[in-house]
Chains A and B, each alone.
Chain A
């Protein structure tokens, strides 16, 4: 049969997606590669003052100019990729995994557990994000694991709310009742019956949350609570070079472009995921 000869490419499995999505994915992969190979391709050490001028222009020597201390911006962006992409990705994964899991559990268990958890997380959500970050970092100091956990904690309640609302609807469907009547355990109902049916919206939510986390991380760095000098994430690069804006220095433009390109392409990718994943319930 000819079927056996066909390679299982994404297109043949029904997982093809359009050009906008592919461009988004390409940009994300580009930044992921940069994050990994950063130390080997950075032209200068990120903390060294290599230019005699500050806020230097773009030149063959310094492709993206230099910052307020005369450090090479290209090298600093390359090294900052690790922090921005890494921290944001880890935090968003943690927030969404936790939120979705708790949301599904609350939807299925219901009753006082649901009420208690929902009210607790609502109350938690009431604390302003930056204020919360400020308190935590002031209390335990800034380190990368602390940053990841703090950012995840900030965005978990929203993700929980979202997943719970979706799961409550799926939970009342007959196929869940059938599974329950079959005697299926809690894990099966949550992971096999409910989760695949809320996956599409949850992924879209993940994309949005990723962007927010990149921005809040930048905000924390702006306040000096994020990644500590001499290293810097992209948000911190914008902050420390903000005075250069009036001088028309590229030092502030390029980190901004980096943030924009990542956040926009994440959303382009998520919004154009293959229909098989995005709209499974249809």
Chain B
């Protein structure tokens, strides 16, 4: 390879904040992409990976501007081109697969009209020919009913199918370079596999080069030839996938890889207390109009489990499996219509209005998105002080001292208490979110995907914090997640949920070996491994996939 397809030299991209301050987002990045090569851009949120990927099309998001350096794609200099020529290049030479296919499709138009749109805009080929080519792509992407799927509307296909259709949309103009911007991040693990497989097969067949933007090393390991690790707009390390995974040189890469390796959870000594902190028996809950004591949409069906004091229970399952509904039913936000909840051996009323203040205090719930879980109009101090006043009747200096103590418990400096939630980072917000639950002095904390929205390294720090707090305060956690490595890192036992039922309960440490139910095996087998050959070597029973795919 003498002539790289893409070469980026000393790229600088800056932005102007609302307060008029100039910020440099990309600080002098250089790299090459050979024809037919797939390069992954890896990094945390704010590392500039998407900004770089978009700049390859000559596009900068509103407020950002390319301020220096050069980008060459093929024989053209993207940075020197007028906008008109860049527009002509997009779709035919460089194309883009966005993260959210659902948002990328116009819900009012049929899929085929949108897939062939690029050929119409650039007048590449007649409509007939374009549609034939689209059907060919649908087939290559292993979409069901390739001949008729184009006549459906976007809401009539599943999320994984839509993501593959958006790839077809990007590929129809025969681009030399395809940019994948976190295309599988929003998908369930089992769906992610189908999509990755389809992407890999079309990319292998064509001679297209690709840029794959992701924060997930394991996913990237399956598809990329080379990996570029980014942090704060600077390249940290660049190298072939094998080398990055097995012989990382830069400490930051090592940190990313370490966050991936789950630290096996050491369970606390078996407590003597005979009563479990939480026992759930045949719990049923649902939404909608209640007729004859049964709601119209039943979500949870006959869920039973026990959680011993000082232990952690993981709940895993794909979206729509009823994990979050289970947490809501236990917290009483969504009253269960049947079944029993026993807190420390005592019956807990289904609806929170019927529970005593003390019962409410003992069970706290922490939500996934700290952005919406903290009142944007209240200072951190007000947010943390409220449960102290509410449950413990604290006021004045004692309360202020306790707020600082709580912030210290979640490893935040005390002066943050005067800030508003919008002035904190994502990880800090999640810590405040946790501190608010701790303020109540609970015995059980229901954690609903609390690390899912965070970067790998930040999430690992939160998990460490949870473990530390558990040792100090003798807490029990119910940990809901779709990420098995997270669950493995903190839980003693794991419940696998499918369509509102618990299909299996497993010890967390031996999840992969002891799983007996076919769905648990499928789910556990679908977690990408840090191994370049994992996807290729993955054997999945197609009948099994089909059986559980009907969601």
Contacts and interface: CB of A to CB of B under 8 A. Distances in A.
Given A182-B390, A183-B352, A281 B365 contact: no
B422 A282 contact: yes
Interface in A170-190: 173-175, 177-184
A197 B377 contact: yes
Nearest to B370: A174
Interface in B324-379: 331-333, 352, 355, 357, 360, 364-365, 367, 369, 372-378
B436 interface: yes
B146 interface: no
Contact of A280 (B367, B369, B374, B377): B377
Nearest to B369: A174
B440 interface: yes
B387 interface: yes
A24 B375 CA distance: 31
A174 B333 contact: no
Contacts of A173: 372-373
A175 to B, nearest CB: 4
B390 A175 contact: no
Contact of B374 (A175, A192, A199, A282): A175
Q: How large is the interface on A (under 10, 10 to 19, 20 to 34, 35 or more residues)?
A: 10 to 19
Which of A174, A196, A282 has most chain B Cβ within 10 Å?
A174
Contacts of A181: 331-333, 352, 360, 364-365
Contacts, number: 55
A180 B391 CA distance: 13
Given A181-B331, A183-B390, A175 B373 contact: yes
Interface of A is mostly: helix
A182 B387 contact: yes
A183 B373 contact: no
A240 interface: no
Interface residues of B, number: 25
Interface string A154-181: 0000000000000000000111011111
A193 B375 contact: yes
A175 B372 CA distance: 6
Given A182-B387, A182-B440, A282-B422, A197 B376 contact: yes
A184 B375 CA distance: 14
A178 B377 contact: no
B376 A178 contact: no
A90 B59 CA distance: 53
B390 A184 contact: yes
B377 A177 contact: no
A187 to B, nearest CB: 13
A184 B369 CA distance: 21
Contacts of B387: 182
B376 A282 contact: yes
Contacts of B440: 182
Nearest to B357: A183
B375 A175 contact: yes
A-B pairs, 9 with minimum CB distance: A196-B377, A174-B373, A183-B360, A280-B377, A174-B367, A174-B372, A175-B375, A173-B372, A281-B376
Interface of A: 173-175, 177-184, 192-193, 196-197, 199, 280-282
Given A175-B375, A182-B440, A192-B378, 13 more contacts: A174-B373, A175-B372, A175-B374, A178-B365, A178-B367, A180-B333, A181-B365, A182-B390, A183-B357, A184-B390, A192-B375, A193-B375, A281-B377
7 contacts: A173-B372, A175-B372, A183-B355, A192-B378, A192-B386, A196-B375, A199-B377
